[in-house]
Amino acid sequence: MTEPAIYEHYRPAEGTLPAGIYRVVGTTEDDVKLLHVGDADGHRINTGKLHTVSDEAFDCFERAENPDGNRPLGETLAAPVVASYWGLRAFLGQLVANPVPSVVALFLIGAGVFGEGRLSVPALLIDVSSILGILLLVYAGSGRLSAHPDSG
């Protein structure tokens, strides 16, 4: 058998591992590292289970289709909505965790949106205020302002 490539998908022989689809995530001279990514019917699952199989045992595996391409329609349509919800929730959480830059950003955006005709500053400054406010808001919500435990 040829050497398996990273990201290829295989099914195990009877009794070698639980039935399903496995993605190759690493190889050495003596074994193959596999991630369990599909059930016995070929549907995508998220187990996080890694298995190491010797080269001799891997000779009994057969190629399989990538299970990512056959998700049910409901899951496929719901995934972007769910990801957007969690992304927005994380973004807002970071804004709350960083209140000073968040308030400054909102003030700059407000000055840029509502300041024309109300503030006696050049129009260019109003536009720059909007752009800086948006950039600061994105930066504050990105989580890059939070202290990391390993940042000493």
Distance CA 63, CA 11 (A): 6
**Tokens 């939070």 identify what position?**
146
Inter-residue contact 58 to 42 (CB < 8 Å): no
Closest to 58 (Cα-Cα) out of 114, 110, 3, 133? 3
Same domain for 55 and 21: yes
* Position 93 in a domain: yes
With cut-offs at 50, 70 and 90, classify the pLDDT of residue 1. Answer: low
Instruction: Report the 10 Å Cβ neighbour count for 139.
Output: 16
Instruction: Tell whether the model's pLDDT for residue 152 goes beyond 50.
Output: no
Same domain for 84 and 59: no
* Position 151 in a domain: no
Last residue of a domain, one of 43, 69, 95: 69
Q: Which two tokens stand for residue 152?
A: 């000493």
Mean pLDDT, residues 69-86 = 83
Number of domains present in the structure of the chain: 2
Q: Which of 59-63, 80-84, 116-120, 132-136 has the highest mean pLDDT?
A: 132-136
Same domain for 39 and 61: yes
Alpha-carbon radius of gyration of the chain: 25
Mean pLDDT, residues 98-112 = 95
| Proportion of the chain in helix, strand, coil states, percent, rounded to 5 | 45, 15, 35
Same domain for 137 and 112: yes
Same domain for 116 and 86: yes
Give the pLDDT confidence of 12-60 residue by residue, as tens digits. Answer: 977 778 899 999 999 998 899 999 999 988 888 888 899 999 988 888 8
% of the chain with per-residue pLDDT over 90:
57
Same domain for 48 and 18: yes
Domain span at 128? 73-144
Last residue of a domain, one of 52, 69, 86: 69
Burial annotation 112-122 (CB, 10 A radius, 16+ → b, else e): beebeeeeeee
